[in-house]
Amino acid sequence: MSKTTHFGYETVSTTEKTERVGEVFASVASRYDVMNDLMSMGIHRVWKRFTIDLAAVRPGERVLDLASGTCDLAGKFARQVGPQGQVIASDINASMLSVGRDRMMDRGIVQAMDYVLANAEELPFPTDHFDCVTMAFGLRNVTDKDAALAEIQRVTRPGGRALILEFSKPTSAGFGKLYDEYSFKVLPRLGRYVAKDEASYRYLAESIRMHPDQDTLKGMMETAGFLRCQYYNLAGGICAVHRGFGA
């Protein structure tokens, strides 16, 4: 019997989820940045900046940015590590990775950058290899989150940092109700008119609700073997950055 998981609010086979998530991001890849700005009113840039600062990447380090998408984080890290460092932008979706690579080339960010098409559940990298591993707005789309966290821990060197930036659970019930109204009424309409894809953005809203809350994800990182795990709530818990250190 095949294993099942969630695709938004639907229960589907693990194979079907992987395929359907791929279809979602292939559909929205060309308009991904525009939609992020509209959905968050530009605040996602502040959240990413906070994550980059928390990562504290230094010259010469090796960095892996998973679910790199349009390479917002990877491009910043490439400038920080300099010519002696390495940044690998990795994504499971070829369309997203292609958009990210083209974007970096257009901006002249070629130094220290490599691109790898890979599944976060089975990373093709050596153990204890990276000084820092990041994943922004990607973990909730992974079919087996525990497997992905275990792989991230495996490739993070002892003392290295792993940071997960992801939508989470609002800390205020009243604010949470307003957030639900926005997510399930406004967001799909933005998807319909801007990205020409209402269904994909309805899935994205549902996937956020199905994602583990802050404390649950912290516990999952600890189970995966990370040390000194903690999280930082942003925008009243709409988003959170989790950080752990390699063992």
Instruction: Point out the annotated binding site for S-adenosyl-L-methionine.
Output: 70, 91, 119-120
The Cβ-side half-sphere exposure at 87, using a 13 Å CA radius, reads 27
- For the annotated binding site, the residues are 70, 91, 119-120
User: Which helix (H) or strand (E) covers residue 72, if one does?
Assistant: helix 72-81
245 Cβ contact partners less than 8 Å away, ≥ 6 residues apart: 156, 159, 160, 161, 162, 226, 227, 228
C-alpha distance from residue 192 to each of 17, 40, 43, 96, 185 (Å)? 22, 16, 21, 20, 11
- CA–CA separation, 246 vs 213, rounded Å? 22
**91 pairs with which residues across the strands?**
117
Q: How many residues are present in the chain? A: 247
**Token pair for 220:** 């999952």
- CA–CA separation, 137 vs 234, rounded Å? 14
- CA–CA separation, 37 vs 230, rounded Å? 27
